[in-house]
Chains A and B, each alone.
Chain A
């Protein structure tokens, strides 16, 4: 079975631009979460989606938005890019979106560099 896939693998943008990152979850998984990992730190939670609805949001500005499609794939959009948005963006899929024990499986990430 294919794991979580993300595209693109690497991306270079300039300040003020907009970026869209894509994620396809493991087949059968209905929940997708997005994380930002700055170099040297642990991942920071951005969003979780389940059945196309936003179920959770981390402490990120409104420049960050996401959506989930009927096939459970997801996109993360970041507007008005800042230098500090440079990071590895990780997508994780889960079989369930309930408030209980729920394992996450991560994709390889998209490395975003903002110049």
Chain B
């Protein structure tokens, strides 16, 4: 069974701090997506990474796909209260139509 482990599970930081969220698996994924989810709403797609070693930036967010396409990281610079939410990674399972979601990282940024 494929698993995507995210760490940390919970993170509470002050506004202006930097943070990194990790998404790890022993399996290879054809692509990996990062989402942010607010309470009671569906996940909102932030980015998709496809190529091993790929780095994508979205304003203060930097996403990296591992060289072996088994892991990914999300780095937030100078976090703001608006970054608060549940961050989810999801890997596309090669050869199937399934997306495997990670366990999630709940981030709270305090003003």
| Interface residues in chain A, defined as those with a beta carbon under 8 Å from any beta carbon in chain B | 4, 33, 35, 40-45, 48, 50, 55-56, 58, 88, 90, 92, 97, 99-109, 111
Q: Tell me the total A-B contact number using a CB cutoff of 8 A.
A: 70
Among B31, B40, B44, B97, which residue has its beta carbon within 8 angstroms of that of A56?
B97
- Whether B101 sits at the interface, judged by CB under 8 Å, is yes
Closest 7 pairs (CB-CB, A-B): A106-B42, A56-B97, A42-B101, A48-B97, A55-B97, A101-B31, A43-B101
Q: Tell me the complex Cα distance, A57–B41, Å.
A: 23
Once the chains bind, are B44 and A106 in contact (CB under 8 Å)? yes
> Interface readout for B59-79 with A: 1 if CB under 8 Å, 0 if not?
000000000000000000000
Once the chains bind, are B45 and A103 in contact (CB under 8 Å)? yes
Once the chains bind, are B30 and A101 in contact (CB under 8 Å)? yes
> Interface readout for B2-33 with A: 1 if CB under 8 Å, 0 if not?
00100000000000000000000000001101
- Whether B103 sits at the interface, judged by CB under 8 Å, is yes
Residues of A within 8 Å of B30, CB to CB, are: 99-101
